Amino acid sequence: MLRALKEALKKNEESILKALSEDLGKSDFEGYATELGITYEEINYLEKHLKSLMKPAKVRTPITQFKAKSYILHEPMGNTLIMSPWNYPLMLTMVPLAGAIAGGNTVVVKPSRYSEQTSKLMKRIIEETFSSEYIALFEGGHQTNTELLELRWDFIFFTGSPNVGRIVHQAANKYLTPCILELGGKSPVIIDGTDDMRLVAKRLAWGKFLNAGQTCVAPDYVLIKKGYAESLIKEMRIVIEKMFTGNPLSSEDLPKIINKKHFDRVKGLIEGSKVSYGGVSDDGKMKISPTLLYPVNETDSVMQEEIFGPVLPILEYDSLDEAITFIQKREKPLAFYIFSKDRKAIDKALSSVSFGGGCVNDTVVHLTAPELPFGGVGNSGMGSYHGKRSFQAFTHDKAVMDKALWIDLPVRYAPFKGKLKLLKMLMR
């Protein structure tokens, strides 16, 4: 089934890239790198390791249960619901679907209505590849979501905003349905000025403006040590113009904002802010140029919500402790990034900040590694997947102790008089 899914995607690659371009304005390169490529890597990993992942896991048995063997069996969660978002509509549907298939589940898929062309294409691909009794996809909007969440599922996998995640969690609680919530939040970047600023700017700009900033793990704001902000902005301007030319709105490599509602929301965050670079938009194309805001205060509107657009606020700090405290006062982020050559500073930040996942001296790329779990913490989500954790996410570990019949230790049975000393020897 995993092979069938991959073959179906390969067969429809051209149509998929076209749909991603229509929905989000993604170039073929970006569409393949961030959607198809990551999906293929996940399927390949699961296909390669599935035999070992499925094997019963042997575990130690305490001496008090002699003679017995203990092991863990992996069984499918059952009938599962996968609800996926619009920003990476193919990858964030197909990667969890691959995990559900690997775990042996039946699946109902509900993609976002905002990514209309990709959702429509995925429906056709799934219907041509799998029996609807095994995997089915339902299109639709709020009403479809509501009706699906009213049903009883064995497991729910949701990717989206924290606000909608709360609704999904509440619906799951009705039947005590386990769920994984992949949410988001304001993912911070700390820059202490010890790295080469040109390289910092390149990696920061790449992660921030990927998919026009519509990435759940995109750098949401920068905390930079005082005295280095102007240097960062200077290098960011050079890098942005190299990536997207001096007129980014005409660049085919800069995606568009998904719809008018989100376009207007992001534009509203720019208005009234101090724009250091960019800030230009095109209502017809629904594009916003890469934008740097500086200086920014923590009370500004752009710091009150996840931006989810190509806008980067830059704030300054005096000491690393101040930067860490700034982050700790807010909801736990899905991602955290630090650029530094100072190993002590890196270790201090990593041990002090609670976050889902992140990078040292880069951005976003941690989610491309199948061996690393991807997931949030606190307000940014619960549970994780990718690689072996995708299999684990969609399976239940069934614990079994298999006892021999030829021996039966009498110590556990009443009467207990005179047995306590022996018990303490066995269970010390």
Question: Is 187 exposed, middle or buried (CB count within 10 Å of its CB: 0-12, 13-18, 19+)?
Answer: buried
The sign of the dihedral angle between the CA atoms of 333, 337, 343, 345 is negative
Active site (annotated) includes residue 216: yes
Q: How far apart are CA 7 and CA 185, in angstroms?
A: 35
Element housing 104 (H / E): none
Taking phi first (over 0 means left), then psi (-120 to 50 degrees means alpha), and beta for anything else, what does residue 222 get?
A: beta
Q: Can the peptide bond before residue 67 be classed as cis, meaning omega within 30 degrees of 0? A: yes
E strand spans, 255-303: 275-277, 281-282, 287-288, 291-293
List the catalytic residue out of 30, 35, 42, 182.
182
Give the closest residue to 362 by CA, choosing from 214, 138, 209, 205: 205
Taking phi first (over 0 means left), then psi (-120 to 50 degrees means alpha), and beta for anything else, what does residue 387 get?
A: left
Which residue(s) pair with 224 in the sheet?
Answer: 191, 316
Active site (annotated) includes residue 359: no
List the catalytic residue out of 216, 235, 306, 331.
216
Phi first, then psi, for residue 210 (nearest 5°) are -55, 130
Annotate 155-174 with DSSP letters as a single string.
Answer: EEEEES-HHHHHHHHHHHHH
What amino acid positions are annotated as catalytic residues? 182, 216
